[in-house]
Amino acid sequence: MKRFILPALFVFAAGTFIGARVGGVFSQPDTLEQLRKLEDAFLLIDRNYVEKVSPVNLVDRSISAMLEELDPHSSYIDKEQVAKVQEGYRGSFGGIGIWFEAPPEDTARVTSIIADGPSEKVGLMPGDLIIAVDDSSVVGYNSIEIQNRIKGPIGTDVELDVVRRGVDEPVEFVITRGEIPLYSIDTSYMMDDETGYLRIGRFAMTTHQEFLQHTRALIDQGMQRMVLDLRDNPGGIKQTAVLIADEFLPGGHTIVYTKGRVERESERDVSTDGGLFENGPVIVLVNENTASGSEIISGALQDHDRALVVGRRTFGKGLVQRPFQLRDGSILQLTVSRYYMPSGRLIQTAYEDGSLEDYYTSKFGSLRQATYNVSEYLDDLPDSLRFKTTHGRTVFGGGGVMPDIVIAPDSVGGMNAPILRAIVRQGADVRFAREWFLEREAAFRGTWMERQDEFVDSYAVPESFMEGFWDYAEGVGISITDGDSRAEDGVFSAEDLAESEALLRTVLKARLAQRLYGSEAWFPIFNAIDPTVLKAQGMWTDAAELAALPPAEDAETRGD
């Protein structure tokens, strides 16, 4: 089974280099003997196998096989992938500051330009079609292939040839690559006069500073309470998650502690005074893809009764990896410790050494149980997995952070209605919105580009848009009938449409907003129909009661 790799919960350091020190590390005779045995096998294969083998592939696969005998989250990154992985954690890369899309077998199109970035400075514009990079055609290339050609060392030049509407000949731009930020805050905005919403997509080196900037802006707009959305956040750098949790807690409270076989891997992170949002009510949104660093935040705030956690049980990754650099530049992400919440609970899902398939099968089965059969799931947990928060509420270990309020997705209605699932599966919402927008881009931008708040509050897709959409949908196999539904054939009744049309119109409006304002514009519109967000908005009384509790000492930490 292919290893499923989440971003490591890094104890971030400048990777420990071990390549030149193997001989001095192993003091146990048995260990040295096994190492020599492995070397013997490698040399025998290299010299005697019937066909020529790649030493690089042989070693890479051997390392991966060794890791399969450990835990599910230790991993090996070959040297070709290291730069890309480190880029994500660093929070920036060398590029030209554009967003673009590359439809299959079509021409890449610039959708937006980063303000004050290299492309804006030379005059590249949204709507420009990228036909060549450094004199090589990229027509029909996918987005990753084009991105790899455009990215490069900061300070170097890249040449783009673009086709611009209204200009007869291609336009050539020579752009000096700059440092382009990889933002990890997906969006933040005021939901009403007192409620701020902030969504974190991952934890990189820059995320804490981003969080401070966004939170200060929300406070300046009158925020008194916050929805912190950690859904689908896979984690990242441990220290960054700790710093963000610290912004919600008074000083002297355990945020997380780790235990490892090596003494230096056992440590405790404690909150400091002066957090940016220590007092207002907080609701944290989580789901089954909330993992690692985002579980540290949701678990710590839950354990200290600082926030109401709403959504679905989190992924359950309570292992910490440290990156060790090998002599060729590849990296071994090795699990060095387990982390525990302030109450003493371990959120790592149980696993058997080397049984990766069983691990994920069991994990997803228990996630489903914790979503649709909550009472039965909690009743089956032994006392050893029941813990107390600082004010005596019961919380649970043994696999993820269990929300205070569980919201199961609607299995038949809402966004899971068969007609909407068919539309999204075909990509009809994205593709039609793109075509409609491109045909009217200049006029549409001219009307709405500087009126985002008004667009979010009052724009409604016109009837002509919906008529065009259904013509398009029929062309991809989705149709409406006056008779009975046949969902397996893509045929849906008028009643199906009536039940889902308001949601569909909102989704299509959000797609147009993404075209106008960028990907972050999706959230203020879609959140208006998001069941988890809507449920959370009705839970402010409970969240306020938690916020009003006096600071207390840490709950007793088991086994510490």
Where in the sequence numbering do the catalytic residues fall?
A: 292, 303, 317
Do 440 and 461 meet the contact criterion of CB atoms below 8 Å apart?
no
* Close Cβ partners of 437 (under 8 Å, ≥ 6 residues apart): 444, 512, 515, 516
Secondary structure string (H, E, C) spanning 396-417: ECCCCCCCCEECCCCCCCHHHC
What is the DSSP track for 255-320?
Answer: EEEEE-SSGGG-EEEE--S--TTSSS-EEEEE-TT--THHHHHHHHHHHTT-SEEEES------EE
First to last CA, the chain: 36
Contact 143, 135 (CB under 8 A): no
CA distance 196 to 537: 11
- Contact present, 219 and 186 (Cβ < 8 Å): no
Q: Parallel, antiparallel, or unpaired: how do β-strands 129-133 and 157-163 relate?
A: antiparallel
Residue 41 has a CB neighbour count (10 Å cut-off) of 12
Which residues, listed in sequence order, are joined to residue 332 by a DSSP beta bridge? 76, 324
Nearest of 163, 164, 160, 156 to residue 173 by alpha carbon: 160
d(CA 298, CA 316): 12
Pairing of strands 282-286, 267-270: unpaired
For the four alpha carbons of 287, 288, 291 and 295, in that order, the dihedral sign comes to positive
